Amino acid sequence: MRYGKSENPACWSRSRPHAAYWGLSLVICAGLAGTVPAHGTTVRSSESATPPRMAIQVNDDRMTVTMAGAPQIYLYGVIDADAPQRFEALVKSGKIPPGSDVYLNSSQGDLAAGMALGRLFRAGSMTTHLGTPRRKGRAGYRGIKAAVCSGACAYAYFGGLYRWAPTGSDRIGLIRHQAVGTAAPRSTSGEADAYLKNMGIDLDALTPLPTSPVDSPTWLTADQMTVAGLANNGRLPLKTKSWLLPPAPFLELQQDDRDGSHRLVLQCKPGSVTLTAYDLVGATRARQIVAHETRSYFEVDRQEVLVEPRGAARVVDGAVVITRPYPPTELGHLLSSRSIGAWVGGRRSAFRYGATFMLYPARHAIKDFYNACWRAAPWPVKPSPKKG
C-alpha cells in the first residue's frame, strides 16, 4: 500500500486502507517541507525545518510484485547529498532488492548525488521510469500526476539498466551546462562525462540538441530518447556473433531484456538451413512453458511462419528451444525484414511466450551470413518469368 511507517514520526499514517487491496509499503518522508508525503500527512516548513530531502517509498506488497513483476520504488522531491546513502541502506537491508522498478520525480537536486544514485541503480540491475506515487487527499485517493525529472534526476535515470521513455504528460529534461559542459566547473563536467560513458549513454547522439537557456531544462521527447539510446524500453542492444567460413557458416543474434536472455541461430549446411530459437529462462520455468504449449511458431514481420503443433518445442539445459528447417530461398527476405521472433502459444490467447528480434541493428551481419551461406551451399534460383 502507499501507507506505512516512516523513519520520520511526523509521517506515520493515522489510518490504513484495506490491507488485502493495498498491501504493505515503506515510506521515508525525510522532511519534505511543504509537500504531502504518500501517506497523506503534510510536513509544514518552518524556520527551524531541516533542508528538504528526497523521499523514498517502497511498494513491495504481494499484489504489486505479482502484477509488476518486481517491487516499485518511488523517489521524489529534492535529491539531497545524503539521498544515495539512504537508498543504499535500504538496498543492503534487503528492502530494495536487485531488479526493482525505480520511479523518479524530481526537478531539483545535487548532481553528484544523482550520479551516485544512478550507480546504485546500475549495480542492482534496476529499471528506471518516471512516475509519482498515489496520494490521499481530502476527497480520497487522487489520480497520478505527471512526473518531472530534470537535472540531477536525469542523471540518476541514466543509471537504470533498463530505462523506459516518458509517457503521457511525464517529462524528462537535461540542464544545458550539465549536458554539454558549457558552464559547469571542469571537475564536475569531467565527472559527469565519465559517468555517462560508464553508463553507455552518448548525448552526442541527440545532435543537434535543442537549444534552451543556460540552466534551463531541454525537454526530450520519447522518440528522441529511444532513437539516441537514452531509453531502451526494457531491451539491451542486440548482439551478433557469426562464423562465415565453410562448410557450416552460422549467425547468432542475442537479445537480453527484462524477461531473460534470448538467442536466435541460423546454421547453414550443404543442402539445408536450420533456424533455432533459445529462451534461457531456467529449467523450472522452461518446463512450465512447454507444459502449456499447444503450438510453436516463428514470426517474420509479425506474420506467423513455420507453425508446428504441440510437441515441437522442447526443454534443453534450462532453455525453451524451437528448431525448424528454414528454406534457403527465404534467407533473402531477412535482408529487408524488420523483425523475426519465436513463440510458444497455449490454449488461451493470453498465453504467449517468446521474443522478437529487431533486425535493423544486425542488417550487415545478416547480409554477410547470406553471402557466406550462398558460397558454402548455393541453392537453386528460380528462373525469372519470360516477358511476352
Of the listed ranges 15-24, 165-174, 364-373, the least confidently predicted one is 15-24
Q: What pLDDT score was predicted for residue 387?
A: 60
pLDDT single digits (tens) 266-277: 999 888 899 999
Average pLDDT over residues 357-365: 93
Distance in angstroms (rounded) separating the CA atoms of residues 322 and 347: 18
Does residue 156 contact residue 108 with C-beta atoms inside 8 Å? no
CA–CA gap between residue 193 and residue 185 (Å, rounded): 12
Q: Which CATH superfamily is domain 239-376 in?
A: Invasion associated locus B (IalB) protein (2.60.40.1880)
| Strands, sheet with 295-300, edge to edge from the N-terminal-most edge strand | 303-309, 295-300, 339-345, 352-358
Domain with CATH 2.60.40.1880 in the chain: 239-376
What pLDDT, in 10s, does the model give residues 245-254? 989 999 999 9
pLDDT digits (tens, 9 = 90+) for 207-240: 666 565 666 788 999 999 998 899 999 999 999 9
Which residue, among 214, 148, 228, has the nearest Cα to 181 in the 3D structure?
A: 214
* Of 139 and 24, the one with more pLDDT: 139
Architecture of the domain delimited by 9-227: Alpha-Beta Complex (3.90)
Question: Taking Cα atoms as reference points, which of 3, 37, 8, 31 lies closest to residue 19?
Answer: 3
pLDDT tens string 171-185: 999 985 554 444 455
pLDDT for 258 equals 87
CA distance 292 to 150: 45
Q: 133 or 313: which carries more pLDDT confidence?
A: 313
Q: Evaluate if pTM is beyond 0.85.
A: no
* Mean residue pLDDT across the chain: 82
Look at residue 38 and tell me whether its pLDDT is greater than 50.
Answer: no
- pLDDT of 384 > 80? The answer is no
Q: What is the pLDDT of residue 260?
A: 86
The pLDDT assigned to 183 comes to: 46
Query: How far, CA to CA in Å, does 45 sit from each of 36, 108, 136, 224, 285?
Result: 12, 17, 20, 39, 52
At CA 229, angle to CA 332 and CA 183, rounded to 5? 150
Instruction: Flag the least confident range among 11-15, 34-38, 48-52, 370-374.
Output: 11-15
Q: Tally Cβ neighbours within 10 Å of residue 138.
A: 6
How far is 40 from 139, CA to CA, in rounded Å? 11
Overall average pLDDT of the 360-364 stretch:
92
- What is the reported pLDDT for 22? 36
Burial of 265 (0-12, 13-18, 19+ CB in 10 A): middle
Whole-number pLDDT of residue 204: 86
Percent of the chain whose predicted confidence (pLDDT) is above 70: 77
CA distance 45 to 375: 76
Residue 247 in grid coordinates = 562448410
CA distance 199 to 202: 9
Give me the percent of the chain exceeding a pLDDT of 90: 61
Q: Which residue has the higher pLDDT, 131 or 34?
A: 131
Question: What was the pLDDT predicted at 351?
Answer: 86
